[in-house]
Chains A and B, each alone.
Chain A
Amino acid sequence: MERDVSLPAASHRPAPEAAQAAAPLSPPPALVLERLGYARAGQVIIDDVSVVLNGTARTLILGPNGAGKSVLMRLCHGLLVPTSGSLRWEPARPVRQAMVFQRPVVLRRSVLANVTYALHLAGVPRRRRRAQAFDALERVGLAGLASRAADLLSGGERQRLALARAWALAPEVLFLDEPTANLDPASTAAVERIAMAIHAAGTRIVMSTHNLGQARRLAGDIVFIDQGRVIEHVPAPRFFAAPGSMNARRYLEAELP
């Protein structure tokens, strides 16, 4: 069973100096997808997707299993190269971004070292890494486990570590690919609180889920995707009140009580 963590709401908590220095200052850059496509071995996985992610709302990519959510996020993050169409950031410049995966990957070293490793790759000077890493761990409620071997953590703790590792980088954009798909309710709630806190600190959040409840709790706008196509991209209240497509209506109706 997961230990519950209570997180202070990020907006109420004065960010320590180290984090403040690295925190995003300007509004997060917008992501513009134009006729984006991805095919593999003759099979079209992402089909002609044109979407603009701007504003400051949390974007939830919603769709059934196999819809193409993970592939779309990997394309956006740059882990996959589109086979057609294009993708750009506005303003056009290198964007500090991070991604958290459905199955959290932890390095076989201490919890703290997992975070300092990411800071090292991000070019943070050695003398500042430890403090920044501790700070990030504190924000996800893992500071007490800093010296624990990360591969001994529970599933929920691993995902919080992955979030801390991403958060420590003070990303302008954070992709979360079904981060709670394998977690129990308490861990899910913790991950959602952390995602909201990262958002409150000024990061663009793009998160995928197949869970309607989660989409209701978190979404500012919804990108509904089915069979590799974006069916609609609308503000969340509108999506849930009156979905504009048959596919979305059917998906909403299929929700279990």
Chain B
Amino acid sequence: MNDIGLALRQALSMLVTLDPSLVGVVLLSLQVSLGAVLIAAIAGAPLGAVLAICHFPGRRPLVVIFNALMGLPPVMVGLFVYVLLSRAGPLGPLGLLFTPRAMVIAQALLVWPIVVALSRQAVEDLWIEYAEALRSLGARWWHAVPTLLWDARHALITVLLAGFGRAIAEVGAVMIVGGNIDGVTRVMTTSIALETSKGNLAFAMALGFVLLALVVLLNALAFTIRQRTMPHGT
């Protein structure tokens, strides 16, 4: 009990004094996860919109697959990217394994199906309302996709927040492809795992607080956006 109290006090003092190793880990976490969400957004939102409005053969199976991939276990993604990037793998020559870039790739893959599936849902809802009017104005699908993405922007922001929440909180993928190298590829979640197992509760707790605060902040933000964009009138 005393140990925990002591660790807690140490954790708080690390937070207050902005302990450099703590800050470094937090910044790298943010960098990796934001990069991953950015890539997933660019590669995922337009695809989600196309899945929402274009009816081509194979669309339904794709929708089902992306929905299923939302629950992809991070360790599986880590393993997959590890195999791709390992020295013997197809992308081995790039030498990305155990770098922050590998972590970005892994998290982007993890978040991508979430962005695709949730933005498809958001765009589909809007498309039900817009379809006739846009077709009447002569819009083809390549006009409708950017239009719907822009007009669903508030919903898409909450989608990206959900993706970021998933990325920042996962351990498995970054652990495998990053290797948890001190000062190079250590992010919040992998540090917490390591420091806890080493008995360095103070550092783990300090990071835990930051992570918790971030997740709470994200959810508050998403909640606010949803509140603000309740449909007005008919």
Contacts and interface: CB of A to CB of B under 8 A. Distances in A.
Contact of A108 (B133, B139, B151): B151
B234 A107 contact: no
Nearest to A177: B132
| Majority secondary structure, B binding face | helix
Interface string B124-144: 000001101101111100010
Contacts of B223: none
Interface string B107-123: 00000000000000000
Interface in A150-188: 151-155, 158, 162, 165, 182
B209 interface: no
A215 interface: no
A245 to B, nearest CB: 31
A76 to B, nearest CB: 12
B136 A98 contact: yes
Contacts of B10: none
A98 B139 CA distance: 12
B139 A101 contact: no
Interface stretch (A117-125, A195-203, A248-256): A117-125
Interface string B200-234: 00000000000000000000000000000001111
A81 interface: no
A177 to B, nearest CB: 10
A109 interface: yes
Contacts of A152: 232-233
A99 B136 contact: yes
A100 to B, nearest CB: 9
Given A105-B130, A105-B133, A121-B143, A155 B151 contact: no
Contacts of A99: 136
Nearest to A151: B232
Interface in A83-121: 98-99, 101, 103, 105, 107-109, 117-118, 121
A79 interface: yes
A77 interface: yes
Contacts of A105: 129-130, 132-133
A165 B133 CA distance: 11
Interface of B: 129-130, 132-133, 135-139, 143, 147, 150-153, 231-234
Q: Which 5 A-B pairs have the closest CB atoms?
A: A105-B133, A108-B151, A99-B136, A121-B137, A121-B138
Given A77-B136, A118-B137, A122-B138, 13 more contacts: A98-B136, A101-B132, A103-B234, A105-B130, A107-B147, A109-B150, A121-B143, A122-B137, A152-B233, A153-B233, A154-B233, A158-B233, A162-B133
27 contacts: A74-B132, A77-B136, A79-B132, A79-B135, A79-B136, A98-B136, A99-B136, A101-B132, A101-B133, A103-B234, A105-B130, A105-B133, A107-B147, A109-B150, A109-B151, A117-B147, A118-B137, A121-B137, A121-B138, A151-B232, A152-B232, A152-B233, A153-B233, A155-B234, A158-B233, A162-B133, A182-B234
